[in-house]
Structure 1
Amino acid sequence: MIDRARHVVLGRWPRAARSVSLVALALLVLAACQSPAAPAARKKLTIAWVHKSLGNPVFNLGRSGAQQKARELSASGPYDVEVLPVGPVAADAAEQARMLDDLIARKVDGIAISCNDPTACIAPINRAVAAGIAVMTWDSDSPDSQRFTFLSIDNYAAGQTAADLLARATGGSGKVALLTGVPGALNLDQRVRGFKDRLAAGYPQMQVVATIASNEDINLGVQGVEETMQAHPDLRGWFFVGLWPLVADRGAMPLWEQAARTGKLKSVAFDTLPIELDLLRDGYLDALIGQKYWNWGYESVQMVYDYIAAGKRYPSFIDTGVDIVTRKNVDAMAQAWQSNDFSKPLPSP
């Protein structure tokens, strides 16, 4: 067949060009005999993004940020990046540790975790690192583990800021109470300690009369607030170390709401979710301290990716900074939520 094709083609060419045509013909026939090569399969990176509990809405935004970053990395780089969001239904340190062991068995490539308990996370994080899995923490740390970095705010300093804001609202005197989440969670404990240390050093006329643990449960938080209001009818202020009871429907905390509406009670809270912005506008809250929720996911996935794919190394702690929201800049924060763009700096509070 090849000889016949050679005869037909070469018979129509001048003798001087026949040698060149023979080479061209051979290349054409060789190409026709070969099937096209299959494209090389892309490598896959699986990064587990581990939160504290399903009950805390701030983690939803972080999860969205993580998934957005995975899509961007898959579109622009050599890897298909999959984000695996996991976490216990309730804030359970033992269950979270078990989930880490499941991720090790699954052989994920990286883990970014907010730890329910710093001690309970040490052994499973170290087992993951020993298995060749890159691990970092965000929001809540396990500093004695072998995680490669911690992405968060300075929680102790943020607690001090909360004390300054509440002191400004109350005039620097009166009984105050705190509501926290899971006892032992390092980030929450640091906020509480920063708050109390600041009051002791700078506001001697302010007295902490109760510290309530909600275990990051909305109903427990509501119950704790109302029981404290009953026990201390002359209470002047609240520091909500997290937003848990504030997620409840209006009317769920009548004693707190009535005292806040009349101006007898002042409250400062962590987080800047839309429901809290509404409470601030309506006079129930006086100031909010916000974290970079989107970046919990968006930046942590980028950092784990760079650690694995590019060999990048990080300092032990990366401070994201906080957002302070009052009535002066609440509309700007509300606009950030509406546009899903948190990149613009807030106006001064």
Structure 2
Amino acid sequence: MKNRIWNGALILLALLFAGLLAGFAMTVQHTRDLTSQLKPENGAEAAATAGERTRIALISQEQDNPFWQSVEAGAAAAAERYGMELEYMGPTRINPSEQTRLLEKAIAEGFDGLLVQGQNDLAYASLIDQASASGIPVLTIDADEPDSARAAYVGTDNLEAGRRMGELVVRSVGDKGELGVLLGSEASNQQLRLEGFRSVIARHPDLVIADVRTSNISRLQAEEQTEDMLREHPDLKAVIGFSALDALGIAEAADHRQADGLLVFGFDDPGNTRQEIGRGRIAAVIVQQPGQIGEKAVTLLHDYMQGKKIEELHYTGTAVLDRAALAASEDGVSSQACVPLESCP
């Protein structure tokens, strides 16, 4: 009898222990379930903390160039608005090979979207195709890469900007004389500006482009190249720069060579361009909208990634900045030089 009671007690204890163990196991599993909801698996903590922010890269032609810094500022503002994470990169000095390496690196790192300057290069276009094929949309900015799988181009209509510069020079110089031209680089945007410029100058047989050189987007090299041009062509009526730092370098060279009658034309408004226009050392510049280029590019990239259809070409405005436009902007009056395009900055 005692043995039966003892055996029954042992059975009851075993059943009680099994019940407690099952309850403990259920509690542990429930805790794990709650934890899995709060803490992502596979090392995804960083993505969750960042709200799974979309990572995009902006690869500039030259990282510290004022034009590209303005592009970055516009892009960063739009990226913040859409909850994107923007990484800005580029060569410290103009270097197409380094741009290509940075594009390869960005593709390998798996960015969600890319903003790049076109190079009019088959190998570079092939990298854009590679990115697109792997699901990374690419937009070109400032200079296009039309024979690639880029989703769209955002920037100046460079052919039209070149034509506009030609018309501006003809109005100032007349239809006779010699001109010098500085390109910032061999990039397609520079070539298109030159093409548009030539198309206008060609209408005037006695107006000749005597020399075309490259400044490598360097104020110092623009100055040196202009001095060489003036030595070889002392009768130049004007020197026209097609990149942001050219006009300032040309003006310095004109001073050194005492070429007081030389007319200086350029693009954009870096440094003290306005002051030089006010002093009469620069006749006029065509101003692009780099901040708008960056902002628009990120907006379009966001729309594209949301499945929206976007147009292939998105041209941003330009404006002529000369002494008349400068005076009008200081008076708070819109200059006719800026109509119907965007107002002068």
TM range (shorter): 0.7 to 0.9
Asked if structure 1 preserves the Cα contact closer than 8 Å seen for 2:317 and 2:342, the reply is no
Q: TM-score, normalised by structure 2?
A: 0.78
Structure 1 counterpart SS, 2:135: coil
Report the counterpart of residue 200 of structure 1 in structure 2: 202
* Structure 1: segments with no counterpart, 5+ residues: 1-33, 75-80, 337-343
Pick from 53, 57, 66 the counterpart of residue 57 of structure 1. Answer: 66
* Structure 2: segments with no counterpart, 5+ residues: 1-33, 40-47, 333-340
Structure 2 distance, partners of 1:97, 1:279, is 36
Asked if structure 2 preserves the Cα contact closer than 8 Å seen for 1:176 and 1:235, the reply is yes
Q: Aligned partner of 1:230: which letter?
A: R
The alpha carbon displacement at 1:219 in A equals 2.4
Q: TM-score, normalised by structure 1?
A: 0.77
Report the counterpart of residue 295 of structure 2 in structure 1: 298
Asked if structure 2 preserves the Cα contact closer than 8 Å seen for 1:180 and 1:242, the reply is yes
Asked if structure 2 preserves the Cα contact closer than 8 Å seen for 1:176 and 1:209, the reply is yes
Structure 2 distance, partners of 1:268, 1:100, is 33
Report the counterpart of residue 318 of structure 2 in structure 1: 322
Q: Aligned partner of 1:110: which letter?
A: G
Residues 162 and 345 (structure 1), Cα distance of their counterparts in 2 relative to 1, 3 Å cut: closer
Structure 1 residue runs of 4 or more that deviate by more than 3 Å after TM superposition: 37-41, 116-120, 245-253, 331-336
Structure 2 distance, partners of 1:94, 1:110, is 21
Which digits, 9 at most, give the CA deviation of each residue in 1:60-114, with x for residues without a partner? 111111111122222xxxxxx1111111222222221111110011110000111
Report the counterpart of residue 232 of structure 1 in structure 2: 233
Report the counterpart of residue 287 of structure 1 in structure 2: 284
Which digits, 9 at most, give the CA deviation of each residue in 1:18-56, with x for residues without a partner? xxxxxxxxxxxxxxxx99x75975221011011111353
Report the counterpart of residue 188 of structure 1 in structure 2: 190
Question: What is the aligned length?
Answer: 294
Pick from 272, 282, 285 the counterpart of residue 275 of structure 1. Answer: 272
Asked if structure 2 preserves the Cα contact closer than 8 Å seen for 1:116 and 1:182, the reply is no
What aligned pairs does 1:203-282 form with structure 2 within 5 A after superposition? 203-247=204-248, 251=252, 254-255=255-256, 258-259=258-259, 262=260, 264-282=261-279
Structure 2 distance, partners of 1:176, 1:85, is 37
Pick which of 285-294 and 327-336 moved more: 327-336
What aligned pairs does 1:21-170 form with structure 2 within 5 A after superposition? 38=38, 41=49, 42-74=51-83, 81-170=84-173
The alpha carbon displacement at 1:334 in A equals 7.3
The higher radius of gyration belongs to 2
Residues 181 and 113 (structure 1), Cα distance of their counterparts in 2 relative to 1, 3 Å cut: same
Structure 1 distance, partners of 2:183, 2:320, is 19
Query: Does residue 311 of the first structure (1) align with residue 304 of the second (2)?
Result: no
Structure 2 distance, partners of 1:251, 1:177, is 15
Q: Aligned partner of 1:238: which letter?
A: V
Structure 2 counterpart SS, 1:175: strand
Residues 335 and 96 (structure 1), Cα distance of their counterparts in 2 relative to 1, 3 Å cut: farther
Report the counterpart of residue 174 of structure 1 in structure 2: 177
Structure 2 distance, partners of 1:289, 1:116, is 22
Residues 165 and 249 (structure 1), Cα distance of their counterparts in 2 relative to 1, 3 Å cut: closer
Structure 1 counterpart SS, 2:272: helix
Question: Over aligned residues, Cα RMSD in angstroms?
Answer: 2.6
Structure 2 counterpart SS, 1:325: strand
Q: Which has the higher contact order (CA 8 A, sep 6+)?
A: 1
Asked if structure 2 preserves the Cα contact closer than 8 Å seen for 1:289 and 1:324, the reply is yes
Q: Aligned partner of 2:172: which letter?
A: A
Structure 2 distance, partners of 1:62, 1:242, is 15
Residues 254 and 328 (structure 1), Cα distance of their counterparts in 2 relative to 1, 3 Å cut: closer
